Amino acid sequence: MGLLLHDYQTTVKSRATLTGIGVHSGKTVTVHFLPADADTGIVFHLSNGGETRELRALVAEVGATDLCTMLGDPAGAHIGTVEHLMATVFGLGIDNLIIEIDGSEVPILDGSAMAFVEAFDQAGIE
């Protein structure tokens, strides 16, 4: 269970999508943000080669932090460069969110959290 900042849980009202380049891989990555039910938490759905893996944004899932913050599981699924996205999610008070991503790292976009803030603002938070 995460830190509760308010008496109710929040998610996005509608789907939002961002596409950019992974700063470490140099590959194009698309991220979709989808509404999630209460008590879901923040969940990444990683699509790689037709297989989808699930990673939860939990401290227990944090792996390497030398060049970026990486979430991973013992089976080898991992997602890197999550720090700006996770800071935005926390800062906006989003408790429940499905994040579909088709690469191994969150795109760097402009290097700040602004594109994430704008995407969540456009999608709405409820």
Per-residue pLDDT of the chain (126 residues; tens, 9 = 90+): 455 556 789 999 999 999 999 998 999 999 999 999 999 999 999 987 778 899 998 877 777 777 788 888 878 888 888 999 999 999 999 999 999 999 999 999 999 999 999 999 999 999
Does 9 reside within a domain?
no
pLDDT at 6: 63
pTM over 0.75: yes
Q: Where are the alpha helices (DSSP H) in the chain?
A: 83-91, 114-123
Range of the domain at 73: 16-123
Give the end-to-end CA distance of the chain in Å, rounded to a whole number.
Answer: 20
Q: Is 94 left (phi over 0), alpha (psi -120 to 50) or beta?
A: beta
pLDDT at 3: 57
**Domain containing 68 — which CATH number?**
3.30.230.20
Does 71 reside within a domain?
yes
Does 5 reside within a domain?
no
Does 34 reside within a domain?
yes
- Number of independent structural domains in the chain: 1
pLDDT at 1: 43
**Cα–Cα distance, 79 to 39 (Å, whole number):** 22
